[in-house]
Amino acid sequence: MHTPSPSLRLAARAAVLLLAGALLAAPRRAAAQADATATHLSRIERRIAQAVDAHNAEALALLERTVNINSGTLNLDGVRRVGDVFRRELDALGFTTRWVDGAAFHRAGHLVAERKGNGPRVLLIGHLDTVFEPSSPFQKFERLDDSTARGPGIIDMKGGDVIAIYALRALKDAGVLDRLSVTVVFHGDEEDAGTPLDSARHALVEAARGAAAAIGFEDGAADPRTAVIARRSAGGWTLRVTGTPAHSSQIFTPSVGAGAVYETARVLNQFYTALSKEQYLTVSPGLSLGGTTVTVDSSLTTGTAAGKSNVVAGTMVTVGDLRAISPEQIARTKATMREIVAAHLPGTSSEITFDDGYPPMAPTAGNRKLLAIYDQASRDLGFGPVEAVDPSRAGAADVSFVAALVPMAIDGIGLSGHSDHTPDETADLRMLPVLTKRAALMLYRLSQTTP
């Protein structure tokens, strides 16, 4: 998952610790609370919750096993090995599984599993890869104490994959898995998506067609009191500006004009003035190179520039990021940016291009309905309310590719913890059965709706 800022992750870490303490630090109080709320659960729902508890040790063992397999996105063999482990788990639950080879998009591929039932079809989304390649020193699962563990991908997102699998197992143990038709898609390239992107996400998009709901098991904002019903897009833009190279003494003259650097400064300043106040919209220049000659590599992450203080810059290239909450906001923003770019200074020309990348997951009534089901399941289990996270705290994720194709979508209900994408990535293991029960109960209640 593409994560929010470190300061937001630190705030979320504090929230996780506070919630975990409130829910689980006093086992007797938690048990009493569960007894008090048991009347809100049906007989089948109590069996589902009991099945989660019965298999929690196995779920923890599966988490440790998969974390100990390096599956950095570019470690294609490691990604496949993690996929093989989860594939066997899904095979045991009666799923028909297949591996979608990733050669066409230069990645390991994806695990897809399907199980037909008698009720609504739901799509469960996870990923097998992490940001930690074999060259990273951060490689192994490490227990820190009886309630926490550290490891590469432990919350982003092997913990979420385990929750999805054991929620399905709880439904099967309770005899109700056949009331749903389920498709599981675990990508092998979420952290560094393959190209072309349409090819890399084709299996997911096809799996979403006709589904009643899409459920993502990312760790979200790392606060289990929240879930994600809206995500911003993650796209990019490139601004290329040309000026008239000349001796610096001739800048501003009619024959030379402003030069590439002044024109770029104008454009970026007007981007800020026109766009910085709109909610959920960010337009951020991340790399800018100007001078007599400029080269930027194909990854748009590095380059070179050469020039002299007494020469008017002839070229400037700026690479930036654009995030928005809806397709409409993206379209409106692009139109504004193009209008600004077109009004160039004398002696210059400017061109802007866009790379849409990850689409947005707009907040919808259907998403709010699914959150309400998840929230009520949490309350009925005695775990308290769940509310929608602020979209500015939720990075881009794969659920966004299908959010517009399904009536309902939710994400960020995977394993809680803190510091994902860093060598301090840590899971709160006490939340594993809590979050698995919530997911299982939500799925069961979805099975009671009209297909």
| pLDDT, tens digit (0-9, with 9 covering 90-100), for 321-350 | 999 999 999 999 999 999 999 999 999 999
Note the pLDDT of residue 395: 77
pLDDT interval class at 393 (50, 70, 90): confident
Instruction: State how far the Cα of 49 lies from the Cα of 150, in Å rounded to an integer.
Output: 26
3-state secondary structure of 166: helix
* pLDDT exceeds cutoff 50 at 27: no
Pick the CATH number of 234-358 from 3.30.420.10, 3.30.70.360, 2.70.98.50, 3.40.50.2300: 3.30.70.360
Q: Give the H or E element holding residue 30.
A: helix 27-37
More confident residue, 54 or 26: 54
Note the pLDDT of residue 12: 47
pTM: 0.86
Could you write out the DSSP letters of every residue in 180-226?
SEEEEEEES-SSS--SSHHHHTHHHHHHHTT-SEEEE---TTS-TTE
Note the pLDDT of residue 192: 94
Instruction: State how far the Cα of 206 lies from the Cα of 183, in Å rounded to an integer.
Output: 11
> Taking a C-beta distance cutoff of 8 angstroms, is the pair 242, 260 a contact?
yes
Instruction: State how far the Cα of 205 lies from the Cα of 198, in Å rounded to an integer.
Output: 9
Instruction: State how far the Cα of 215 lies from the Cα of 51, in Å rounded to an integer.
Output: 21
* 6-231+361-447 and 234-358 share one fold: no
Chain segment 295-326, per-residue pLDDT in tens: 999 888 999 999 999 999 999 999 999 999 99
Instruction: State how far the Cα of 227 lies from the Cα of 390, in Å rounded to an integer.
Output: 9
Q: Which range (9-13, 74-78, 205-209) has the least confidence?
A: 9-13
Residue 84, Cβ density class (10 Å: 0-12 exposed, 13-18 middle, ≥19 buried): middle
Domain 6-231+361-447 annotated CATH 3.40.250.10 = no
Structural domain boundaries in the chain = 6-231+361-447, 234-358
* pLDDT exceeds cutoff 90 at 2: no
Q: Reply yes or no: is the peptide bond before residue 337 cis, omega within 30 of 0.
A: no
Note the pLDDT of residue 38: 54
* pLDDT exceeds cutoff 70 at 21: no
Note the pLDDT of residue 445: 98
Closest CA to 167 of 66, 49, 82: 49
Closest CA to 326 of 263, 408, 391, 275: 391
Q: Which amino acid is at 140?
A: K
Q: Which range (31-45, 87-101, 188-202, 397-411) has the least confidence?
A: 31-45
Chain segment 86-116, per-residue pLDDT in tens: 999 999 999 999 999 999 999 999 999 999 9
- Averaged pLDDT, 117-132: 97
* pLDDT exceeds cutoff 60 at 11: no
Instruction: State how far the Cα of 254 lies from the Cα of 337, in Å rounded to an integer.
Output: 26
Closest CA to 407 of 349, 443, 366: 366
Mention every residue, 6+ apart, whose C-beta is less than 8 A from residue 181: 114, 115, 116, 117, 118, 119, 120, 121, 122
The C-alpha angle with vertex 398 and arms to 395 and 402, in degrees rounded to 5, equals 120
Rg (CA), the chain: 24
Give strand pairing partners of 125: 185, 216
Chain segment 62-87, per-residue pLDDT in tens: 999 999 999 999 999 999 999 999 99
Note the pLDDT of residue 300: 87
State both tokens at 306. 């050469």
